[in-house]
Structure 1
Amino acid sequence: MSTIQFTVEGMSCGGCSSKVKNTLEAFDQISQVEVELATGEVKVHVEPDQNIDKEQIKAAIEDLGFDVVN
Structure 2
Amino acid sequence: MYQLQVENMSCGHCVGSVTKAVQGIDPAAQVQIDLASKSVKVESSGALDSIKAAIVEAGYPVTSAQ
Identity of aligned residues (%): 38
- 1:68 alignment partner in structure 2: 62
Structure 2: gaps spanning 5 or more residues: none
TM, length-normalised to structure 2: 0.82
More helix by share: 2
Number of equivalences:
64
Q: TM-score, normalised by structure 1?
A: 0.78
Rg comparison, structure with higher value: 1
Map Cα deviations across residues 32-66 of structure 1 (whole Å, 9 max, x no partner).
111111111001102xxx4x221111100000111
Give the aligned CA root-mean-square deviation in angstroms: 1.6
Greater relative contact order (CA < 8 Å, ≥ 6 in sequence): 2
- 2:49 paired with 1:55: yes
- In the TM superposition, 1:1-70 aligns within 5 A as 3-28=1-26, 30-46=28-44, 50=45, 52-70=46-64
